[in-house]
């Protein structure tokens, strides 16, 4: 039987082999090219937008109907505290039973609570019913944490892509908290006071349903989770203390900026100034995702917090030296560029220190710490503005950032010293 003659021997041209498909150079295009990533990201973006809407919408709706900003603030503060308390518990259920099985009923409960709040306001129900209704809406799942958990599951063997994903998620957070209050103010001002809350509830339900429908990218549930809770994991208490201090930076900055702009006769400009701060953080987050920072995450965090502390002095200097809201807005834009890299590095460290199988719970604890810090920062910033001056109030976020720097630096030094001692005792070197 004759053997086939090679093409080279007969002088025939060998058909060219098909070149391998090149991966896109843009890391964000590569990220969204992961199968199923674009679909769950779109649903999660819709679900996260209301996070920046509910607070503003509730304040406008309650204050307009009851004529009391004190009541409106108390109701929203109660909702924030309830959300912080319920968040880790819901996240634990998500880790144990799966995102879709827990997030959808939790969102239904939150939407029903929001609708109950609208009815209580419109029907003139007693004030205590507003607290109950808004507390019932506190079962909103941590959609940002669930999205980060999906990226961690999909990119567990690609640390560079996971860094890009974390940066992308932080940019999305900033975008939502920048656009959410603007959309809420537009809806409540252009239509009717309840429009912001109703639209937020509709967006939340739609987004969570779309997100939960993407089952192919959902991390597998862990019915038997590790015995050690994230709060008891090595390094996590100090990390949550850093989250608390950074949250105080954000809470104080918001209150103090509103007070400063009001004192200058430009209260409406406060929203624009804070929006510029979020815009600066959003852009910085996207740029940081393209970079490839080197070294352990726990050593990078103090440097990021140090840069954030230095940047937070810019609004203080702008307020003290110029008294101009326009200059302050520029200072906030620049100061915001340090926020996203710090938050990305912080959340990466939280992911590292969270025990396997409890990632949603660990990240939700970090968010709870941020919420608690925001509440504390708002209170301290408001006290400083009232008893000293709006300009002096800008010292509060600087102080809070410095506290975060001390905690992160001490934690990195202790862990580094612990590793060195272990290596010496074992006779090993790295």
CA–CA separation, 168 vs 174, rounded Å?
A: 10
CA–CA separation, 254 vs 335, rounded Å?
A: 13
Tabulate helix, strand, coil % of the chain (nearest 5).
Answer: 80, 0, 20
| Residue spans per domain, the chain | 37-223, 233-420
> Which residues neighbour 354 within 8 Å (Cβ) at sequence distance 6 or greater?
230, 233, 236, 361, 362, 363
Cα Rg of the chain (Å, integer): 24
Q: Which residue has the tokens 């957070």?
A: 173
Per-residue pLDDT at 28: 86
CA–CA separation, 60 vs 48, rounded Å?
A: 20
Per-residue pLDDT at 226: 58
Look at phi and psi of residue 4 and say left if phi exceeds 0, alpha if psi is from -120 to 50, else beta: beta
Per-residue pLDDT at 419: 53
CA–CA separation, 159 vs 296, rounded Å?
A: 12
- Report CA-CA distances (Å) from 207 to 49, 67, 175, 188, 331: 9, 33, 16, 21, 34
Per-residue pLDDT at 420: 45
User: Which stretch of DSSP H or E encloses residue 26?
Assistant: none
Per-residue pLDDT at 320: 92
- Report CA-CA distances (Å) from 123 to 117, 131, 200, 201: 10, 15, 20, 19
382-390: long-range pairs with CB below 8 Å, 24+: 382/255, 382/259, 384/252, 384/256, 385/255, 385/256, 385/259, 390/256, 390/259, 390/260, 390/262, 390/263, 390/319
* CATH code linked to domain 233-420: 1.20.1250.20
> Which residues neighbour 15 within 8 Å (Cβ) at sequence distance 6 or greater?
none
CA–CA separation, 12 vs 6, rounded Å?
A: 9
* CATH code linked to domain 37-223: 1.20.1250.20
Q: What is the 3-state secondary structure (H, E, C) of 316-372?
A: HHHHHHCCCHHHHHHHHHHHHCCHHHHHHHHHHHHHHHCCCCCHHHHHHHHHHHHHH
Per-residue pLDDT at 267: 67
What is the secondary structure of 212-243 as a DSSP string?
A: HH-GGGSPPP-SS--SS-GGGSTTHHHHHHHH
Per-residue pLDDT at 368: 84
In this structure, are residues 35 and 216 in contact, taking their beta carbons and an 8 Å threshold? Answer: yes
Per-residue pLDDT at 365: 86
Per-residue pLDDT at 4: 47
Residue 88, token pair as written in the block: 């880790």
Predicted structure pTM score = 0.74
In this structure, are residues 221 and 96 in contact, taking their beta carbons and an 8 Å threshold? Answer: yes
pLDDT by residue for the chain (430 residues), tens digit each?
444 444 444 444 444 444 444 555 688 888 888 999 999 999 999 999 988 788 778 877 888 888 876 788 788 778 877 887 888 889 888 888 999 999 999 999 999 999 999 999 999 899 999 999 988 888 988 888 899 889 988 998 888 888 888 888 888 887 887 788 778 878 887 888 899 899 999 999 999 999 999 999 998 887 766 557 777 788 888 889 999 999 889 888 888 887 888 888 876 677 788 888 888 888 888 888 888 777 788 888 899 999 999 999 999 999 999 989 899 999 999 999 999 889 888 888 888 888 877 777 888 888 888 888 887 887 788 888 888 888 999 999 999 999 999 998 887 776 665 554 444 344 433 3
CA–CA separation, 364 vs 294, rounded Å?
A: 27
Same fold, 37-223 and 233-420: yes
């Amino acid at each position: 039987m004759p053997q086939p003659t090679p093409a080279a021997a007969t002088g025939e041209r060998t058909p060219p082999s098909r070149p391998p498909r090149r991966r896109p150079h843009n890391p964000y295009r590569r990220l969204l090219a992961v199968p199923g990533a674009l679909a769950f990201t779109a649903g999660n973006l819709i679900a996260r937008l209301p996070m920046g809407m509910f607070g503003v919408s509730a304040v406008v709706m309650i204050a307009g109907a009851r004529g009391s900003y004190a009541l409106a603030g108390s109701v929203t503060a109660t909702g924030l505290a309830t959300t912080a308390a319920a968040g880790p518990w819901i996240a634990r259920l998500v880790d144990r039973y799966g995102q879709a099985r827990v997030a959808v009923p939790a969102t239904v409960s939150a939407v029903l609570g929001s609708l109950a709040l609208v009815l209580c306001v419109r029907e003139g129900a007693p004030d205590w019913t507003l607290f109950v209704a808004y507390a019932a809406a506190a079962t909103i799942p941590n959609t940002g944490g669930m999205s980060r958990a999906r990226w961690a599951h999909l990119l567990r063997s690609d640390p560079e892509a996971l860094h890009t994903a974390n940066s992308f998620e932080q940019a999305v957070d900033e975008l939502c908290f920048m656009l959410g209050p603007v959309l809420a103010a537009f809806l409540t001002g252009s239509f009717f006071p309840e429009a912001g809350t109703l639209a937020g509830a509709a967006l939340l339900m739609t987004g969570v349903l779309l997100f939960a429908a993407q089952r192919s990218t959902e991390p597998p549930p862990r019915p038997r989770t590790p015995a050690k809770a994230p709060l008891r994991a090595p390094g996590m208490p100090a990390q949550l203390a850093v989250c608390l201090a950074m949250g105080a930076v954000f809470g104080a900055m918001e209150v103090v900026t509103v007070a400063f702009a009001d004192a200058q006769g430009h209260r409406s400009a406060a929203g624009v100034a804070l929006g510029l701060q979020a815009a600066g953080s959003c852009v910085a987050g996207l740029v940081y995702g393209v970079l490839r920072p080197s070294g352990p995450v726990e050593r990078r965090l103090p440097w990021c917090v140090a840069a954030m502390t230095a940047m937070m002095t810019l609004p203080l200097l702008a307020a003290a030296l110029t008294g101009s809201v326009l200059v302050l807005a520029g200072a906030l834009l620049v100061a915001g560029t340090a926020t996203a890299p710090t938050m990305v590095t912080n959340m990466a460290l939280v992911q590292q220190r969270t025990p396997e199988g409890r990632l949603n719970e660990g990240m939700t604890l970090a968010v709870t710490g941020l919420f608690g810090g925001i509440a504390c920062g708002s209170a301290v910033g408001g006290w400083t503005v009232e008893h000293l001056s709006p300009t002096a109030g800008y010292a509060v976020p600087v102080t809070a950032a410095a506290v975060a720097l001390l905690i992160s630096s001490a934690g990195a030094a202790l862990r580094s010293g612990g590793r060195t001692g272990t290596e010496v005792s074992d006779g090993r070197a790295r």
